[in-house]
Structure 1
Amino acid sequence: MVTIYHNNRCSKSRQTLDLLREKGEKLQVVEYLKEAPSAEELKSVLNKLGLKPEQVLRKGEQVYKDSFAGKSYSDDEWLQIMSENPILIERPIVVKGDKAVIGRPPEKVLDIL
């Protein structure tokens, strides 16, 4: 089973989803803007990515600029902020077993299939 944290408005996310479907992967699609992951779920995904929360923040988003730019938070605080503001999470994130990758470019997902 492959899980994709997906935003249908994002072309890279749509391309990644199409690639996974072409490969015949059994998919769980999480539309994370509608079903925001919990801080614990994000922590698990980030551990699989081998990244810290700040490394997957979309700093170009207006909510980041307005509320969080230039401020310092702990990893746990960032996880909570990202759970409450899922637009800040880089996309798409694809998870298979104990591995995860950010699908930018979409072909990066082939590394974990």
Structure 2
Amino acid sequence: MSVLATDDKQLTLIYNSETRLGKQALGYLQGSNKAIQDLDISKTKLGNTLWVSLQDRLDKPFDELLALDHPDAPDTGSGNLHPDDWLKMLNENPVLLQYPIVVSGDRIGQLSTPSELVQFFEANSAGLDES
């Protein structure tokens, strides 16, 4: 069960407005006709439970969600950190989330380009009568 409210008619963008990609993704979304919930982590800290839920739904370890090669990234040594350490690092350095996360209903993805949002705009035609 997710702690993030999900709705097929709404796109939730979790991003950092201090990154170029974050700004571009938000601009792309604002041009859509879907309802938008934007969560800018440079201004609002998200709870640890939400981050763990997102990480679980994306099926990625924290070291793949974050840009550890960023100049502001702390040294992680071997990268084998406890989840609490990753969460603390993310909350103290939101710029480490270089790739925004988008959620729509049961679908979730981490974007490397704003154009990847298109897949979240397309209507799900499952169950429609094609007669």
For the criterion TM > 0.5, the same-fold answer is yes
Q: In the alignment, is residue 22 of structure 1 matched against residue 31 of structure 2?
A: yes
SS in 2 for 1:12: helix
Structure 2 regions of 5+ residues with no counterpart?
Answer: 1-9, 122-131
- C-alpha change, 1:40 and 1:84, in structure 2 (3 Å) is farther
Q: In the alignment, is residue 54 of structure 1 matched against residue 59 of structure 2?
A: no
CA RMSD of aligned residues (A): 2.1
1:90 paired residue number:
98
- C-alpha change, 1:95 and 1:40, in structure 2 (3 Å) is same
Q: CA deviation at 1:12?
A: 1.7
Q: CA deviation at 1:40?
A: 1.1
Q: Tell me how far apart the structure 2 counterparts of residues 83 and 58 of structure 1 sit (CA, whole Å).
A: 14
Larger radius of gyration: 2
The answer to whether the Cα contact below 8 Å between 2:18 and 2:42 also exists between their aligned partners in 1 is no
Q: Tell me how far apart the structure 2 counterparts of residues 99 and 90 of structure 1 sit (CA, whole Å).
A: 20
The answer to whether the Cα contact below 8 Å between 1:4 and 1:29 also exists between their aligned partners in 2 is yes
Structure 1 regions of 5+ residues with no counterpart?
Answer: none
1:39 paired residue number:
48
